[in-house]
Amino acid sequence: MTRILLIDDEEQLATPLAIYFKRFDLQLESATRPTLGLKKLESGDFAAAILDVMLPEMDGFELCRTIRSGRYGRDIPIIMLTARGEVMDRVAGLELGADDYLPKPFEPRELVARLQTVLRRRRVPAEKSRLMFNGLQIDLDTHAVLRHGDAVALTCSEYALLVLLASTPGKVFSRDDILNNLRGHEADLFSR
How far apart (Å, rounded) are the C-alpha atoms in residues 167 and 6? 31
pLDDT tens digits for range 41-51: 988 789 999 99
How far apart (Å, rounded) are the C-alpha atoms in residues 76 and 79? 10
Per-residue pLDDT for 25 more than 80? Answer: yes
Indicate if 28 and 89 belong to the same structural domain: yes
For residue 82, being part of any structural domain is answered with: yes
Indicate if 10 and 50 belong to the same structural domain: yes
For residue 85, being part of any structural domain is answered with: yes
Query: For position 115, which CATH number holds?
Result: 3.40.50.2300
pLDDT tens digits for range 140-188: 878 889 988 888 988 888 888 888 888 877 788 888 778 777 765 444 5
pTM confidence score:
0.65
Domain count, the chain: 2
For residue 191, being part of any structural domain is answered with: no
Indicate if 115 and 143 belong to the same structural domain: no
For residue 150, being part of any structural domain is answered with: yes
Indicate if 83 and 151 belong to the same structural domain: no
How far apart (Å, rounded) are the C-alpha atoms in residues 162 and 118? 16
Indicate if 78 and 163 belong to the same structural domain: no
- Out of 71, 90, 122, a domain closes at 122
Indicate if 25 and 117 belong to the same structural domain: yes
For residue 158, being part of any structural domain is answered with: yes
pLDDT tens digits for range 62-106: 999 899 887 766 678 999 987 766 778 778 778 888 889 898 889
Indicate if 162 and 69 belong to the same structural domain: no
How far apart (Å, rounded) are the C-alpha atoms in residues 41 and 34? 10
Q: Which domain holds residue 116?
A: 2-122
